[in-house]
Amino acid sequence: MELWDLYDIDLHKTGETHERGKPVPEGRYHMVVHLVIFGSDGRMLIQQRQPFKEGWSNMWDVTVGGSAVAGDNSRTAAMRELEEELGLVADLQEERPRLTIHFNCGFDDIYTLNWDVELASVTLQESEVQAVKWATEEEIHRMIDDGAFIPYHHSLISLLFHLRNQRGTVTRPDRKAE
């Protein structure tokens, strides 16, 4: 059973927890995080979800993402997702999300990293991820149009690519979880 912290409309923890899979109570919200990695050549590291994964099975997605679990803050959730899904370690303790997007029952903090990750150094979480690859903005737009990528708005993907070299984007050395 996975528990999430609940937040009020101002994104303050309420002290309440919530069980994943149940409807989020009215007036309460849960946190989702995404971490998007860009290589020095401008391409985004993307992952393909497992065919048996509930929700968006077999589809391509941005580098990593998921729900924060109880006790996580946004940064620790993003670091945890990166290590769990790809076996990579990055320190985001001094970082803020590049974007926060609100949706019906929660909010999504999105971080960006500039990092030339060697695909051979990635350790895929077998229960979630079946493949990773680098893709250009145009390739991702085509994948969205073809139904192979989670149907994000094209403008969001373009904004992420635009933000990759803006002030505040973290550059990290290539290192793998030990």
Domain segments of the chain as ranges: 3-171
More confident residue, 94 or 37: 37
Q: What is the mean pLDDT of the chain?
A: 93
How far apart, in whole angstroms, are the C-alpha atoms of residue 28 and residue 50? 30
What pLDDT does 167 receive? 58
| E strands present in the chain | 3-7, 13-19, 30-38, 44-49, 60-61, 64-67, 99-103, 106-114, 129-135, 170-171
Q: Answer whether 65's CB lies under 8 Å from 55's CB.
A: no
Question: Dihedral of CA 151/49/79/66: which sign?
Answer: positive
Confidence of residue 165 (pLDDT cuts 50, 70, 90): confident
Contacts of 54 (CB under 8 A, 6+ apart): none
Rounded percentage of the chain residues whose pLDDT exceeds 70: 93
**Binning pLDDT at 50, 70 and 90, where does residue 169 land?**
low
- Do residues 159 and 137 touch, judged by C-beta distance below 8 A? no
pLDDT category, 176, cuts 50, 70, 90? very low
- Distances in Å between the alpha carbon of 46 and those of 6, 15, 37, 40, 108? 29, 34, 8, 15, 18
In this prediction, residue 177 has a pLDDT band, given cuts at 50, 70 and 90, of very low
Instruction: Answer yes or no: are the C-beta atoms of 81 and 65 closer than 8 Å.
Output: yes
> The CATH number of 3-171 is which of 3.40.50.360, 2.60.120.1440, 3.40.50.1400, 3.90.79.10?
3.90.79.10
Q: What is the pTM assigned to this prediction?
A: 0.91
More reliable by pLDDT, 171 or 49: 49
pLDDT bin (cut points 50, 70, 90) of residue 54 is confident
Averaged pLDDT for residues 37-53? 96
Q: Is there a contact between 86 and 175 (Cβ–Cβ < 8 Å)?
A: no
